[in-house]
Structure 1
Amino acid sequence: MKKTNELPSMLQVSIVLVGFLALAFIFTSLGIEIHLAIFAGWFLAIAVGLKLGFSYKEMEKAVIDGIYNGMDAIIILLAVGALVGTWISGGIVPSIIYYGLKVIHPNIFLLATLIICSLTSLSTGTSWGTAGTAGIAMMGIGAGLGIPAPMTAGAVLSGAYFGDKLSPLSDSTILASSMSDVDVIDHVKGMFPASIVGYIIAALGFTIAGFTVGGGSADLSRVNEVINAIEGMFNISLISLLPMVIVIALLAMKKPSIPVISFGAVLGIIWGVLFQGLNFVDAIGTAWTQIPKDTGLEFIDNILSRGGMNSMLWSVGIILFGLGFGGLLDKTGILKAIASRIEKGINSGGSLTVTTIIVGFLGNLFGSAMYVSLILTPKIMQEKYDELGYDRRVLSRNTEFGGTLTSGMVPWSDNGIYMAGILGVATLDYLPYMWLSFACIAVSIFYGFTGAFMYRTNNGVTE
């Protein structure tokens, strides 16, 4: 069959995307992994591609090329898994939590939760790991202090997603920057102006809320219980924070991510042997999977059972299938067809920002996975940014705000399911308290319409 130069019709686009989204919704509702829905989406795209005149070999190559383009993110993600595993067993993450808990007080509990989870996510680069470690601890402490669980969960998620999108170790940060063709450190710098303002707004909100709900009769025994449990399991010292400082400093100096993160994992192994009394073999093993513990305290057991490359394989699977799907959508012209429809109403930085954030949210709403959103949004929107002269850092920033910051808001998305399950609070209950997400999105839209921090290019040179 002879190929045409025409873009696919909206009917053909709908067959692929609506079909995929329907599969994603049905599979998620039935408890079937989202991976299979994305894989099935490949064949919907292939069917349309064959109709358009592409050969199977061409589309197979598109899948391979799509995956190849994201392999750096996959390798870094596995390295991050090793780092988180060794940093927990090496006492680094527990030390962060321990020193944060030492300053806890009922009136500042929500603010402290925000800060502790921010530090944890910044140091580990994972919102899921943060929610499963510091987040669970803070949920237990909050219950003991009489703080409403949805409000505590909102503070946990605000801190978790703050680091998830700002840490150079984060898989979402790496993926959003790589898919937008932006250096990861430049991407982080581009997000900083909106993220810091949004963080201040969220911090003020949780401070006021803390003084409103923080009871004077709160029982601090849960705080002491957690502190004592951590002290009983780890040798806590300030030197345990040194690997975090070293890794973040090296990344900030723009050293290659994979060697730096891997070096951080090695430091975690060394710290586990020198300061936590692990034998060398067990310490190395935590880079793949964490050593299970049974302390009698469920949230402490969860803290000690996270991390390792093995914990990242679920996410790696989604990235592989998502990258392959994106390659097919690109090859068959489906992305161009969508972009040609969307871009007609975009004529300013404000409408460009709003549209990008909506596209990112829809990726979570219908695609049921943050990675699908972070992969497809840049592909759909990138040409319009280039046409209007906006630097790709603006694209990667808005992609993160639309994709990462809304991922926990959808009850059937991977993040919504995970966060609700791990924190014990329904998605729609904690949703009103995801103040950082709302604040950052609002600030980004404000920048879009006012032109503030909307970086421009001039003949390919960033201004």
Structure 2
Amino acid sequence: MQRENQEIKIPFLLAILPMLVMIGTMAVTVIKFEGSPHVPLLVGTVAASIIALKYGYKWETIEQGAYNGIKLALPAILIIIMVGLTIGAWIGGGIVATMIYYGLQIITPSLFLVSISVICAVVTLAIGSSWSTMGTIGVAGMGIGLSMGIPAPMVAGAIISGSYFGDKMSPLSDTTNLAAGITGTDLFDHIKHMFYTTIPSMLIALVVYFFLGRQFSSSNVDTKNIDQILNVLNENFVISPWLLLIPVLVIVLVAKKVPALPALAIGIFLGWASHVFIQGGSLADATNTLQQGFSIETGNAMVDELFNRGGIDDMMGTISLTIVAMTFGGVMEQTGMLKAIVGQILKVARSTGSLITATIMSAFITNATASEQYISILLPGRMYVTAFREKKLHSKNLSRALEDGGTVTSVFIPWNTCGVFIVSMLAVHPFEYAPYAVLNYTVPIISIIMAFLGLKIEYLTDEQIKELEEKEMLQKQVAS
């Protein structure tokens, strides 16, 4: 029966229909009703299942595809849980507060655009969330920048570039973990591979902001907002440069090639210990923070927004979205629909450069059609995994392409959840800040150029291919 199912070929026009149904439902749900993408993905799954049943697939096969998709997401889900624990522990332990405290003090009038971009990058690296950074530090930065006479689109662009640099490079970022987990790439190998496209883009952005900011060097800065935040942090946390040793230690462990889970576990324990022994929290509070997240009321809305987060509970939305998306992707893959869609694309994308470009463009198009950043990583991630394997391309090439095309480009789509969020937080339209969000458009450009030049493209060795095949065979045996 399995052999018969494998021989069933669903035509391209019908194979793409569930995606069109999902995209249409997504547009109405997310843009018009301001809902979550979960239900549209389930609707797409139902549409795919109906088409597969009509073409002769047995329900058991379709169901197995959904389970297989979820199984593929389990490593990412486990990391996401660890990320929630880390965020809670580091906020409770005063580590995040210390990083923000020292970061805010580097702002100077002549280097405001550079400074606010760097600060947003540092904060997002610490907490793994570009949205939280833009909704707090970004809002404060907009007020400070406008008080200096700097145009709002410039300030917004600098904030967005810094925030998304941190979002891509942070091991606590949900999109970074999704891209690594969905492609079967080691988290820190994925981050290291992104250095080649993200670091040059950030340097280009900072150079642009340096020259743009020079014309505002004589302006007077209203430091009231900064002083308020610094005072609130001093009143509610023990600020010490020694606390910075904890994230430094995690970075060192990563550099020593310690796996992600134990490296994060050490960071979680040290953050929890800091909460108890340095910040003076009780054992109960420190432990509950790991589950429920950190909670504080300082009277400063921006500080409260930034620090009331973390814990396992805070990650459940991302986890549920991952499960639902992978259910849709699993059914599409099991029934050969993804293969039919990719087959049409690969008729054009024959070389390594064109394949990576197709992946980047697919992620961007998914951002524009599905209106959700996570989907731009999850769906293309499953669509192209086999094509990359056939060309003996290491999975880190795929995971990087997904982030280069998906994570950073979401900000340019006004109806994408990221674009909508930025407008609500920074009060600047995507078409206005787009020219100044330098990192976000230089990353995919550099990635495509490097792909066609064959720079920093890593291939699988015969031994690695053999190991992957043995691992997949073992997984199939366990699944059966």
1:321 aligns with 2:324: yes
Asked if 1 retains the 8 angstrom alpha-carbon contact of 2:138 and 2:426, the reply is: yes
Question: Out of 143, 154, 162, which is 2:165 matched to?
Answer: 162
1:50 corresponds to which residue?
53
Q: Given residue 330 of structure 1, which amino acid in structure 2 is its aligned partner?
A: E
- SS of the equivalent of 1:287 reads helix
The 1:336–1:41 alpha-carbon spacing in structure 2 relative to 1, beyond 3 Å, is same
Alpha-carbon distance, 1:99 to partner: 0.6
Q: Distance in 2 between matches of 1:65 and 1:394?
A: 23
1:142 aligns with 2:145: yes
Q: Distance in 1 between matches of 2:287 and 2:144?
A: 32
1:333 aligns with 2:336: yes
1:451 corresponds to which residue?
454
Asked if 2 retains the 8 angstrom alpha-carbon contact of 1:4 and 1:52, the reply is: no
Q: Given residue 130 of structure 2, which amino acid in structure 1 is its aligned partner?
A: S
1:379 corresponds to which residue?
382
1:392 aligns with 2:395: yes
Alpha-carbon distance, 1:446 to partner: 1.3
Asked if 2 retains the 8 angstrom alpha-carbon contact of 1:350 and 1:445, the reply is: yes
5+ residue gaps, structure 1: none
| TM-score scaled by length of structure 1 | 0.93
1:211 corresponds to which residue?
214
Map of 1:78-227 to 2, 5 A cutoff?
A: 78-227=81-230
- SS of the equivalent of 1:130 reads helix
Let me know the Cα RMSD of the aligned residues.
2.3
Bigger mean CA deviation after superposition, 38-47 or 127-136: 127-136
Bigger mean CA deviation after superposition, 219-228 or 313-322: 219-228
Q: Given residue 26 of structure 1, which amino acid in structure 2 is its aligned partner?
A: V
The 1:123–1:251 alpha-carbon spacing in structure 2 relative to 1, beyond 3 Å, is farther
Alpha-carbon distance, 1:98 to partner: 1.0
Q: Given residue 109 of structure 1, which amino acid in structure 2 is its aligned partner?
A: F
Q: Distance in 2 between matches of 1:210 and 1:407?
A: 26
Alpha-carbon distance, 1:246 to partner: 1.8
The 1:323–1:204 alpha-carbon spacing in structure 2 relative to 1, beyond 3 Å, is same
2:16 corresponds to which residue?
14
1:23 corresponds to which residue?
25
Alpha-carbon distance, 1:27 to partner: 0.7
Q: Distance in 1 between matches of 2:321 and 2:201?
A: 29
Question: Out of 259, 276, 284, which is 1:256 matched to?
Answer: 259
Q: Given residue 387 of structure 2, which amino acid in structure 1 is its aligned partner?
A: K
1:283 corresponds to which residue?
286
Bigger mean CA deviation after superposition, 233-242 or 318-327: 233-242
Q: Distance in 1 between matches of 2:190 and 2:294?
A: 35
Q: Given residue 20 of structure 1, which amino acid in structure 2 is its aligned partner?
A: M
1:436 aligns with 2:472: no
Asked if 2 retains the 8 angstrom alpha-carbon contact of 1:82 and 1:309, the reply is: yes
- Residues 21-59 of structure 1, C-alpha deviation per residue, up to 9 Å, x if partnerless? 000001112222211111111101110110121122221
2:64 corresponds to which residue?
61
Q: Given residue 7 of structure 2, which amino acid in structure 1 is its aligned partner?
A: N
Asked if 1 retains the 8 angstrom alpha-carbon contact of 2:236 and 2:298, the reply is: no
Asked if 2 retains the 8 angstrom alpha-carbon contact of 1:272 and 1:278, the reply is: yes
- Percent identity, please: 34
The 1:190–1:342 alpha-carbon spacing in structure 2 relative to 1, beyond 3 Å, is same
- Residues 112-171 of structure 1, C-alpha deviation per residue, up to 9 Å, x if partnerless? 122122222223333234334443443343344443333222222212221222223322
2:422 corresponds to which residue?
419
- Residues 216-250 of structure 1, C-alpha deviation per residue, up to 9 Å, x if partnerless? 22222332222222222222110121221122222
Alpha-carbon distance, 1:442 to partner: 1.3
5+ residue gaps, structure 2: 466-480
1:301 corresponds to which residue?
304
| TM-score scaled by length of structure 2 | 0.90
Alpha-carbon distance, 1:413 to partner: 2.5
Q: Distance in 2 between matches of 1:432 and 1:341?
A: 33
Q: Given residue 71 of structure 1, which amino acid in structure 2 is its aligned partner?
A: L
Asked if 1 retains the 8 angstrom alpha-carbon contact of 2:16 and 2:341, the reply is: no
- Runs (4 or more) in structure 1 with deviation over 6 Å come to none
2:477 corresponds to which residue?
none
